[in-house]
Amino acid sequence: MLLSHCGSGVGFRVSLICVAVGTALFTYRCHITSRRPTVSATGGITVDNGVGFQRTHTQSIDGENADSGSFEAEAGTVQYRNLNINMEASSRQLWPNDTRCNRLMVRPGWGISQTWLLSFPRSGNTWTRYLVEAATGVFTTSVYHENLLIRLGFLGEREDIDSGTTLLQKTHDARWIRNSSQPVILLIRDPQRAIISFWSWTQLSGSPDQYNASISADRYKTPGFHLFVWARTLEWSRMITKAAEKYENLTTLFYEDLLKDPLKELRRILRFLRVEPDEERLACLARHLEGPFKGAKKVHDPYSVFEKKVLKSAIVSASRALEERGYAPLPDYKL
């Protein structure tokens, strides 16, 4: 959309911008795909008497938010699956200082089929993973295996994406999802805020506070940031459009809805995952919704008038792509 007009009757300065944006995109994609796996396998749920498991149960779906994903729109019931838990593996204690909830742990599973958490960077995927792990007691992982996240308590980050030990596998690059029939949760955040947060995250690379600190306002007033906006706006829109077109078993999760009512959205995601809600865990989670990974508030509006027009065009395009395929439109992102 943005880069297709480069080089056809535009001025020299605009051509330079187009080249820079293209270079940024190429560099970013090379970085993201440098650790692509050689094998990606989907496993079924296996029954092993040596591990714990959740019951299989059928429950009626109320139809709420049925237009946000093909799984929820298909049938009136959901067949909950058995989740085998490896009770002898290393575990994470969720809330050690809460005497009512400190016995609840998170552990690796056993023979769990893949479900992808696909998002543009800094769209709330770390918080989403925390909510899912707390609600289910099962590790999540990512294609990146980030040491900093492991130190922050995400022990599942050590697990391979195709090992069958994790409930969700996070990626920012759809090319990791090689089977279009695999379940995908598409997590979407207002691009204005996601891009600001992503820029801050890149500037803090290597810092122990990379996931929850912020940078000064002056660091948004640079040519590098404005080139970053062009490239990332295109990526944000393209990721949503392609996901809506490609994946047969997709549900959308809007970060803004998750902020408004975390437990409501989490219950919907549990239905999509076919995991029976554990009311004790959800009650404890209600006491600890924020988790330890909330980021600092970023600069509110560093965008130029022209960048806002580009962002608005990207939002309209992505929302239209979702609606054309039967999904809920994007929230009203104020510009």
Cβ contacts of 59 within 8 Å, gap of 6 or more:
77, 78, 80, 276
20 in any annotated domain: no
CB 315 within 8 A of CB 307: no
State residue 311 phi and psi, 5-degree precision: -60, -45
CB 123 within 8 A of CB 189: yes
9 in any annotated domain: no
| Per-residue pLDDT, 294 | 63
14 in any annotated domain: no
Taking the CA atoms of 145, 151, 153 and 155 in sequence, report the sign of the dihedral they define.
positive
| Per-residue pLDDT, 297 | 65
3 in any annotated domain: no
- List residues bridging with 106 in a β-sheet: 92
- pTM of the full predicted structure? 0.78
Q: What is the DSSP string of 50-75?
A: TSEEPPP-EEE---TTGGGBHHHHH-
* Domain total of the chain: 1
Distance of CA 163 to the CA centre of its chain: 20
- Give per-10-residue mean pLDDT for the chain (335 aa): 39 40 43 36 30 35 37 63 94 96 97 97 96 98 94 94 98 96 98 95 80 82 96 98 98 98 98 97 96 68 96 98 98 90
- List residues bridging with 250 in a β-sheet: 184
| Per-residue pLDDT, 79 | 93
Query: What's the full length of the chain, in residues?
Result: 335
Q: CA-CA distance, 92 to 105, in Å (whole number)?
A: 5
- Provide the b/e sequence for 231-252 (b: ≥16 CB within 10 Å): bbbbbbbbbbbebbeebebbbb
40 in any annotated domain: no
* Domain with 283 in it: 45-324
Q: CA-CA distance, 139 to 108, in Å (whole number)?
A: 5
Q: What CATH number corresponds to the domain at position 59?
A: 3.40.50
Rg of the chain (C-alpha set): 20
| Per-residue pLDDT, 37 | 36
| Per-residue pLDDT, 41 | 28
214 in any annotated domain: yes
| Per-residue pLDDT, 154 | 95
- As given in the structure block, the two tokens for residue 207 are 């810092």
Query: How many of the other CB atoms lie within 10 Å of CB of 258?
Result: 21
Q: What is the DSSP letter of 106?
A: E
21 in any annotated domain: no
| Per-residue pLDDT, 48 | 33
Of 245, 244, 38, 228, give the one whose Cα is nearest residue 121.
228
17 in any annotated domain: no
Q: CA-CA distance, 260 to 262, in Å (whole number)?
A: 6
| Per-residue pLDDT, 145 | 96
| Per-residue pLDDT, 181 | 97
